[in-house]
Structure 1
Amino acid sequence: MYQEERLLAILEFLKKNDRISIEQICSLFDVSRDTARRDLVRLEEEKSIVRTRGGAILPTFHDEIKSYTSRLNIVSEEKKIIGKKAASLIYPGDRVILDASTTVHACAEQLENIDCTVITNSINQADVLSAHPKVNIQLLGGTLEKEHRYLYGSSVVDKLSEYYVDKAFIGVVGISQKGATIAHEEDGIVKRKMIQQAKQVIVLADHTKLGNTEYFKFAELADIDLLITDKTPPKAIMDLLSNYNVELLTADQEDRRG
């Protein structure tokens, strides 16, 4: 077998088994340890693998987190459905926190003009809600994250500690056994404080976020009261939510029909 054929076979093995050892390469392809090492060096140079002690694994690729404006321009039908369901849970007299995620933005867009108080660190959501005369808006002041359009920092966290609200609506990039995660730490720290100040924590996440883990954990699954998503999750996710007493609300075909 030529080296090029062997390299392709090693990559196929990794796709199925997550990792491969020097010994496995020697056994599978009847080559020496030196040859196996040279194969791994070649694959590493091509950035096809990450070498480990005694073998290799596939590299981890993270989706680029697009700017807030870009994400708003491609808000999916799933997010709109989730947002509509979330907005229906905000009642007259409620005091709620809305974080700066685009799924929660979809909730703000569909909130009716009702007498309620909304606390947010999102300048976009404050702008959207300003069209509703009955909605009282508390915009948290802090450092502006220009690309993703949210305010963060110690002043935001300190101000949040003064509020006690009925519900907090929180978006995630990933939700898994490891908890609720986000791409940016400063965003996660604000979300963590929002959760602490709410009687009920409602996470909004389309099905692509379920089972994923991102960079920064801001909450345990036990911190979440309700998850709103767009379709019924796989059994493994359902069991996970049940184990942590997370209630599930799924948008159905009736919601799609409007």
Structure 2
Amino acid sequence: MLVEERRQKVLELVKDRGFVALNDLAARLDFSESTLRRDLDYWDQLGFLKRTHGGAMYTGGQLVMPALEDRTSTSLSEKQIIAQAAAERIRDGDAILLDGGTTTLEVARRLAGRSLQIVTNSLPIANLFASSREVDLVLLGGYVYPKTGVMLGPLCTRMMEDIHVHQAILSVGGITSKGLFNSNLLLVETERQMMRCADEVVVVADHTKLGRQALAFLCELEAIDTLIVDAGVTDEQRALVEGAGVKLIVAGEPTSARESEFGS
């Protein structure tokens, strides 16, 4: 069997089942697990599936929006480190609300295969979990912003009135001493309702967002509980967060050093 033919069979099996364990795949196709692991990694890199512990789940790859895809490559390594730190704070069984965005999409990719309740307004994120047997998925409705595939507006906010989650994980366009900002007026209205739904409001942002201001004001810094950033954050920016009494997590630092509760 040619490599291309084997890879295609691997993808078809994962697509048909939604999730396939590596040992089941090896038994079905009669290839070694090491060979099939490389095939799964190949499709993972192309965005058609997501590698999980012991297997892979189908994601399709077809719902990545062009504008979102372009932004994903910007500061990708920082976003991945931030996403890992955010995912590690989530416990199995938690209810999580994931905002749309490139960093929150990376968080979602690291939650694949876990037992969670996930609420999202993002089509790309929902696509990751649509076939998952482990995740209870709630997709919020509303006006679809075509550049990024997120739901916005009054319908979306009304759907959240009866929703309660442990964490709302948000992406923002900028953070300054004035507060947090995003690029769309409808988006910030939706995100404010997300914040009302959560026990903990977590913002994930790479260091390039700090010191930057965007079109629409979201909230003051004091309104969020936790900010997860990468090691590119400056001392001055740390002090800004410290003054607001926000928990700062610097992803990539040792666990004992990276998380600090300011103002305590």
Q: TM-score, normalised by structure 1?
A: 0.70
> Distance in 1 between the 2:224 and 2:131 partners?
30
Determine the structure 1 residue equivalent to 2:69: 69
Q: Matches of 1:73 and 1:210 in 2, distance apart? A: 18
Take 1:161 and 1:204, find their aligned partners in 2: how far apart are those partners?
A: 23
Asked if the contact 1:75–1:102 (Cα under 8 Å) also holds between the matched residues in 2, the reply is no
Secondary structure of 2:211's partner? coil
Is the 1:109–1:129 Cα contact (8 Å) retained in structure 2?
no
- Do 2:143 and 2:152's aligned partners in 1 also have CA atoms closer than 8 Å? yes
Instruction: Name 1:185's counterpart in structure 2.
Output: 185
Q: Is the 8 Å Cα contact of residues 75 and 206 (structure 2) preserved in structure 1?
A: no
Amino acid at match of 2:127: D
Helix, strand or coil: the match of 1:249?
A: strand
Task: Map 1:115-130; keep pairs closer than 5 Å.
Answer: 115-130=115-130
Cα RMSD, aligned residues only: 1.8
| Cα distance change of structure 1 residues 235 and 74 upon mapping to structure 2, 3 Å threshold | closer
Which has more radius of gyration?
1
1:141 equivalent to 2:141? Answer yes
Residue 174 of structure 1 is matched in structure 2 by: 174
Output the amino acid matched with 1:167: Q
2:168, 2:198 within 8 Å by CA — same for their partners in 1?
yes
Question: Partner amino acid for 1:84?
Answer: Q
Gaps of at least 5 residues in structure 1 are 1-65
In the TM superposition, residue 146 of structure 1 has moved relative to its aligned partner by 1.2
Other-structure match for 2:252: 252
Q: Which runs of 4+ in 1 moved over 4 A?
A: none
What is the deviation of 1:73? Answer: 4.9
Distance in 1 (alpha carbons) for counterparts of 2:223 and 2:113: 30
**Partner letter of residue 174 of structure 2?**
G
1:227 aligns with 2:227: yes
Q: Give the residue type in structure 2 aligned to 1:152.
A: L
**Alpha-carbon separation, structure 1, partners of 2:108 and 2:187:** 19
What is the aligned partner in structure 1 of residue 102 from structure 2?
102
1:205 correspondence with 2:205: yes
Identity among equivalent pairs (%): 29
- 5+ residue gaps, structure 2, are 1-65, 256-264
Distance 1:103 1:110, change over 3 A: same
1:214 aligns with 2:214: yes
Counterpart for residue 39 of structure 2: none
Give the CA deviation at 1:148.
Answer: 1.5
Letter paired with 2:220: E
> What letter corresponds to residue 244 of structure 2 in structure 1?
Y
TM-score, normalization: structure 2? 0.68
Using the TM superposition, give the Cα deviation of residue 82 of structure 1 relative to its aligned residue in structure 2, in angstroms.
0.8
Letter in 1 for 2:98: L
Q: Contact between 2:112 and 2:129, CA under 8 Å: does it hold in 1? A: no
Counterpart CA distance in 2 for 1:168 and 1:124 is: 17
| Conservation of the 8 A alpha-carbon contact between 1:202 and 1:224 | yes
Alpha-carbon distance change, 131 to 250 in structure 1, aligned in 2, over 3 angstroms: farther
The one-letter amino acid paired with 1:222 is E
Amino acid in structure 2 at the alignment position of 1:207: H
Residue aligning to 2:8: none
Instruction: For residue 77 of structure 1, give the secondary structure of its aligned residue in structure 2.
Output: helix
User: What letter matches 2:72 in structure 1?
Assistant: L
What secondary structure, in the 3-state scheme, does the structure 1 residue paired with 2:199 have? Answer: strand
Q: Distance in 2 between matches of 1:137 and 1:251?
A: 27
Aligned to 1:240: 240
The count of residues paired between Structure 1 and Structure 2 equals 190
CA distance in 1 between counterparts of 2:86 and 2:120 reads 15
- The yes-or-no answer on 1:196 pairing with 2:196 is yes
Find the aligned partners of 1:95 and 1:253 in 2 and give their Cα distance: 27
